[in-house]
Amino acid sequence: MCPIERFQWRVTASYYMCWYTMKSEPALEHLSDKCDNFAACLDPYLGPNNADNRADDATPYGCALYSFCPDPCCPIKHLTRPENCWNNRDNPCFGANPAGQRECVVNRSQNIDFTDIILNRWNVSCSCPQKGFEWSSFYGLCVDVDECVTATHTCNPEREVCLNLPGGFKCACKWGHTFSAKTRNCTPSDALTHLILQEEEAEEEAPKETLWEKFVKVFKGFAIGD
Ligand SMILES: [Ca+2]
């Protein structure tokens, strides 16, 4: 195999090994003595152990990540302290966050698309100091958490509807419900209850009427304060 073929094979094999790592293939959880951190050829100054903190076989998948995947959090070839990564301008969490809150994390489960791996498109997570915001790899900044979509709101589904707001959410009374000062809850609206009762009465009086006729009758009765 000529050098270029060896290079291509290595790169292609790495795509797959990185992909299996991201998919948490059990065989790659620990590589034991195969971890590059213990290879004898990496760093002529530091010896057999190149002391890169990312090449840690004790951390599940740490060694596989180090050996097969680029590090989107720390595009630094040799890293001995994680702080050196967080305070580096190439850290994707650097720009949007103040010092001390720039920790960058690669969540494997969010990087399992094979095409994205080949195209070097990664999802990373940064901390967001503002409450109710989360990191978006797509936009590269902290965005509001939509509690209504993520079902992390505390609204009562029977009586309330969730309204998403920047940094939080509010619960409003659901359709046909109004706030009761007495119970401090959303309760069925008196107007709607009245309308329904009228409809039921109209149904008893004229069972042969069409639904539309009944509605018009009920609505007219309600409108004039019957
Ligand atoms: Ca929100």
Ligand 1 center to residue 174 CA distance, Å?
19
pTM of the model: 0.62
What pLDDT tens digit does each residue of the chain (226 aa) get? 666 777 777 788 889 999 999 999 999 998 876 565 554 334 455 555 667 878 877 889 988 898 899 999 988 888 888 888 888 888 888 887 888 888 899 999 999 999 999 999 999 988 888 899 988 888 878 899 999 999 899 999 999 999 999 999 999 999 989 999 898 999 998 888 888 887 778 777 765 666 667 667 767 776 655 4
3-state secondary structure (DSSP) of residue 82: helix
Nearest residue to 67 (alpha-carbon basis) of 124, 12, 18: 18
Amino acid at 84: N
- Residues lining ion ligand 1 (Cβ < 5 A) are 144, 164
d(CA 8, CA 21): 20
Ligand 1 center to residue 111 CA distance, Å?
25
Phi, psi of 179 (to 5 degrees): -80, 130
